[in-house]
Chains A and B, each alone.
Chain A
Amino acid sequence: MKKLLALVMAAMMLLSVTAVLAEDASIKIAVIGPFTGPAANYGLACQYGAQVAADEINAQGGMQIELICVDDEHDPEKSVNAYTYAMDKGAQMIAGTTTTSPCLAVSAQAYEDRVFMLTPSASSDLVVADKDNMYQICFQDPQMGIIPADMIAEKKLGTKIAIIYNISDDYSTGIYEAFKAEAEKVGLEIVSVTTFTEGDTDYKTQVDKAMTAGADLVFLPIYYTPASMILRAAKDINYAPVFFGVDGMDGILALENFDASLAEGVILLTPFSAFDTDETVVNFVEKYTAVSDGVVPNQFGADAYDAVGALYQACVNAGITGDTAAEDACELLIDQFSTMEYTGLTGTMQWDETGAVNKLPAAYVIQDGAYVPLDK
């Protein structure tokens, strides 16, 4: 009998918690990303960044915004569920989703429902393809291949180039293909291309091949976890080329059990550096660490901060309020984003008609455990 009572109590609790507290007049923005599971780092960074932006905007007074943060566990099916849940809660636009494959699933649905989406970090070019309601804050994967190739040729960072990429990851293969095509155009010599798959832990072969081929620059279009192991493998055989990473390299210094001295001299592309002494960046880092319990923000946090900021600016310009229907807001936002300019933490942004962002890339080199702009 006691057990039955407990069950009834639990059921009642569940029902009472589900009750929604309606709040009028504030603009409702859904933030969707993986807050649990293997990709939680990225989702949480976005959540914190968006939170900082919302707090700042609400502190200014005027039109308020309310964030609806929903977890998608980096799973396309769950992400669509998260989206429909947020819409049921009255979301008017989406600042998300964080990761690419869920974003593809959600954006197809949002395109049909006419809901505006601005993703901070889903970088595949497929995300915005054929969808007028979908915009990006981050660079697209192909750009992450083209920019480094141009930079290497222009600044003469290396003459013989080796590439190690993750063949089971579309982010990595996408950048590799774009880099290879651009390298041919600008006349870079690629001497070695090796691959690995998700979860590999031994990179001796790949590094050996790069060294034997005499490469003086190794391009790593991969995430920081395998990159850290590649740096270790190179150190073990006393191979010291220039390592060039892209935005996936951002975060390597915060990696647990990683000897940060191995990353000295690594060049990476990232739109945001927490080491900047710029006032807005210092201010953001301070507020972010207060929300995130001490974790230093990476580009995901900054991208999400900019996403909420850009959405807010567009809403103010278009006269969108908390009472505007999602479908109407979508058309108004499309008009705004195709013409407006927004300056945020990750630079001054404009968007082309496909929804891809146009902003200046920034390259940093790691020196004494901090990012230093490459040009200095």
Chain B
Amino acid sequence: MYKKRFDLKYMLNPRSVAIIGASSSPNKVGHVILQNYIDAGFPGKLYPVNTKEDAILGLKVYKSVLNIKDGVDLAVIAVPAEIVPKVLEECGKAHVKSVIVVSGGFAEMGRADLQDKIISIATKYGIAMLGPNCLGVMDPRSRVDTLFLPTYKLSKPKIGSVSFVSQSGAVGSTVLDLIAKEGFGLSKFISYGNAAVVDEVDILKYLGDDEDTKVIIMYIEGVKRGKEFIEIGKEVTKKKPVIVLKGGVTEQSASAVHSHTASLSGSFAAYQAVFRQFGFIVADDLSDLLNYAKAFSTEHMPKGNRVAIVTNGGGAGVLETDEIFLNNLTLAEFDKTTLENLRKNLPVIVAVRNPLDLVGDADDKRYETALQAISKDPNVDMIIAIVLFQTPGADSKVVSTLIHYKNITDIPIAALSPGADYTSVHKMMMENSGIPVYDSPAAVAKSFAKLLEHSRYLKDNGKE
């Protein structure tokens, strides 16, 4: 049985932060972290801790966390591994509520002994300790940012609804950089490294309860407490979508295998089974993570597998149709009213069928006519609007039309708009208004297929 061990709110929404190992030399991790807090406009108290300096970036420096009298919600530890036990002990004595150890040099470097040492200290004082060997956390709402990467190299996501959990720091910062380009924005980022104390189960529980988080995306390599992971996982996946990318797909060594079942149910297969059984949404690579996050963040779920395609390019419609069927979706058959409506209001050059090819000179009026009829069609469960912005009629008025229909219907609507500069401006407009936009026919179809799979899971499990 899962027992709530920590409250991560002190880590993600602290009133006071001590940065242990803060430094005035700009190439030190402790300097970058302090600078990030200042740059982000962190509204709480900041306490640089360093034994040798008196002032850093204009702030008074403390020799030890024990000298800070007002209480510390979060201590970020960025000192060499050998010194971590000592400063952690001081954090314990100073009743620091949570700690992030960004330093590496523990179990991942063969120093399990050192890791055991800090685990026992954290346990003794009941400190929620994240890491070691991690990037820490980022929360644009509370302006917390422990990432020690130079700001000019990493774009920071805007405030949003998607939270991202990553075991790996490198995958973490890469995906964060990519999220900065997406319309959905970031709620919380948590990189947990070696998971010595706080692990994926604690984090999943916290994000499941967090009201600012609508969608969770995770990169994990393995879990430490399988049973609790299932227990919390199945609770959270019923509340909000959890999209997971699992690293370490290749099978473990062919150690003595005694039965067929054993050889067919290795560790990766077990993870896949858990994800499927308990309602996780499985991503196969990094781009899936973002594509699915985009689709799920609209919170519109399909009721069936019937897709309507509206396009201003015949070929793109054909490619999308192929992907629809490859992903076990199907094309909607428009009902009589829709057909009559479309025949009456569209020019004769438009053949009325699904995919509905509005032809290369289609403008916002034609999209308007099409979406007006299709969005009310009871046979349509999802809509893909293909807008190729290279054509003369496709402009921001088409974008406004799409946004209008997205706002008045519950049916998931996504756009397919591959293209360069002109397109990306319009893409941003749509995404900022909650329409997921994709670059490839496959990405749209896969994302819709996941929406459907998840909506069926919820239905089978008594939700919706």
Q: Do A and B bind each other?
A: no
Residues of A within 8 A of B (CB): none
Residues of B within 8 A of A (CB): none
